[in-house]
Structure 1
């Protein structure tokens, strides 16, 4: 019985990693959704889970002794490059203003949360999730104050 359970343990751990990525991305998506941004509640958790699963599948293709550094670097580079294209599509330039940069970087950062979870680096995933959320919540009012101060000049 224990042999059968231990046979499925890696898959159960991978499912846990993907769920952790989803959970850690959820507050960011919720915040973006509540502020009616282009990407929101569905997008952010899906980005994190998708990146996590890409890395997990890639890791499973490498010999079982462990993932080689070069293979890991190429895998992460491919995932993050793809996210760069996604984020680039969120950035809009209108005359002299640029909008969507926060959406682009939070999408990219959410992908990094997924990658960190895939590599069992929950410490980094939690830190990044918290820093992004705090940045979105606390720095938005400061940004408005700076803009108002600049327009008063």
Structure 2
């Protein structure tokens, strides 16, 4: 029992700090999208998006720890993350009458997972760009889509 407790606290504080920063970045980069979805009264929003990104980051970091230098096994870890996020995103897609809703939210959940993976892999430029594009889509393209849809309905 004492050996287990000693090993529990025998870790590298520098690695812990680095992973904490990575997790905070993965969490924070998707907050604007989660806020947008929440303020748009979508069923998936402020909690789900950061959690998907955070979990993706953590699974990727754990994958690096488990796989060591074997890059081929990392593909399996990433495949599992992608599949799991697809399952979560699938829950966002609903059929209402003759319309399908939630596809953009499902796609954004997938993108949020990609943000987390990119952060964990040290590809901050990819994570930031995905986040910028997601914010642009939901804050600027979505209102344009609604305006165009309304104009088509008026015809």
Given the two structures, how large is their TM-score scaled by the length of structure 1? Answer: 0.89
Match of 1:118 in 2: 120
Q: Note if contact 2:49-2:109 (Cα within 8 Å) is conserved in structure 1.
A: yes
After superposition, residues 11-50 of structure 1 pair within 5 angstroms as 11-50=16-55
Shift of 1:43: 1.2
Shift of 1:54: 0.7
Instruction: Give the count of matched residue pairs.
Output: 145
**Shift >4 Å, 4+ stretches:** none
Match of 1:3 in 2: none
For the residues of structure 1 that align with 2:136 and 2:76, how far apart are their CA atoms? 31
Secondary structure at 1:90 match in 2: coil
After superposition, residues 67-106 of structure 1 pair within 5 angstroms as 67-68=70-71, 70-106=72-108
Q: Note if contact 2:67-2:74 (Cα within 8 Å) is conserved in structure 1.
A: no
Secondary structure at 2:91 match in 1: helix
Given the two structures, how large is their TM-score scaled by the length of structure 2? Answer: 0.88
Shift of 1:7: 3.7
Q: Which 5+ residue runs of structure 1 have no aligned equivalent?
A: 1-5
Q: Which 5+ residue runs of structure 2 have no aligned equivalent?
A: 1-10
For the residues of structure 2 that align with 1:148 and 1:13, how far apart are their CA atoms? 48
Pairing partner for 2:141 from 133, 139, 142:
139
- Residue deviations 1:66-108 (CA, integer Å, cap 9, x gap): 451x222211111011110111111001232011111101111
